[in-house]
Amino acid sequence: MSAIPLRLAVLLVLTALAATACGSSDDEPTDDSATPMGHTYISTEVVGDQIPGGGPMTLGFADGRISADSGCNGASGAVDLTGNVLSVSGLAGTLMACPGDRGGADAWQNSFLESGPTWRLDGDRLTLTGETVTVHLTDKKIVTPDRPLLGTTWIVTTLLTPDAQIRSTVLDEVSPNLTIGEDGTVSGMAGCNRITGTAGVGPGDAVNFAVATTRMMCAPDVMEVEQNVLAALDGRTTATVDADTLTLRNDNGHGLVLRAQ
């Protein structure tokens, strides 16, 4: 009678070994090589100390660098993701003064990123875990799919020059904007004067602008914004749409970062 339990025990051992062998099969993919590099993420939940002003935090990863924006100034720097620890260095950004609680967003953001939080990527979801704060983020293309280049009204949020990225209160106040119609017509506001003209789109991501403006004069700081906008819209540009953000880079070194209205 003791042989029956023995044979049963042997069968159970063999079954367990077979299950272990199947579980370690190379046929099952792993996410060990997954990386956030090449993607942009937007925070959907913050556990712990909240972002001053409400955020959200937007993190972009590209070419070994990280860009960050939590509601006030944008910042960027080198990033190392080794060992699932996010290590940033040389983090620097724009210096615009932000009203209200948003004024504390930069300090919160930089303190969190420079603390070396761990990161975990689960499909389209990125989780950053620090000592007292955990930030859950989702791929920007899931949260806000790419907006169409044509027919969308784009608001300028950042001026790109050969030497710097410029954000300012004046830029926010005058809100230069641009719309490229399906027929290639261009309309909008450069800051002080209205814009009209045409844009030749394609092939690829090339857009060739030919624009003119009205001739009003405004305050010097407004005219400075306008001059930078018009420099970016002078001839051939490269247009890149990422969710609700359009980046125009002109061959002359100027450019614009715009947000869909």
Using one digit for the tens of pLDDT, what is the confidence trace for 124-161?
999 999 999 999 999 998 998 999 999 999 999 999 99
Give yes or no for residue 29 having a pLDDT over 70. no
Phi, psi of 245 (to 5 degrees): -120, 130
Nearest-angstrom CA–CA distance, 14 and 156: 67
Q: 40-143 has which fold? A: Lipocalin (2.40.128)
| Span of 49-53, 92-96, 164-168, 190-194 with lowest mean pLDDT | 92-96
Instruction: Give pLDDT, residue 122.
Output: 97
Higher pLDDT, 54 or 96: 54
Q: Which residue has the higher pLDDT, 88 or 18?
A: 88
Given a cut of 70, whether residue 15 has pLDDT beyond it is no
Rounded Cα distance, 234 and 211, in Å: 7
pLDDT at 32: 56
Q: pLDDT tier at 14 (50, 70, 90 boundaries)?
A: very low
Q: Is the pLDDT of residue 31 over 70?
A: no
When pLDDT is cut at 50, 70 and 90, the band that residue 57 belongs to is very high
pTM of the full predicted structure?
0.65
**What are the residue boundaries of the structural domains of the chain, listed by start?**
40-143, 153-260
Distance CA 209, CA 237 (A): 8
Cα atoms in the 13 Å half-sphere on the side-chain side of 147: 19
204 vs 105, more confident: 105
Whether domain 153-260 has CATH 2.40.128.270: yes
Return the minimum-mean-pLDDT range out of 21-30, 83-92, 94-103, 202-211. 21-30
Side-chain half-sphere exposure of 166, counting CA atoms within 13 A: 20
| Fold match, 40-143 / 153-260 | yes
pLDDT at 161: 94
User: What is the predicted pLDDT for the residue at 242?
Assistant: 86
3-state secondary structure of 42: strand
Which is nearest to 126 in space by CA: 91, 88, 89, 86? 86
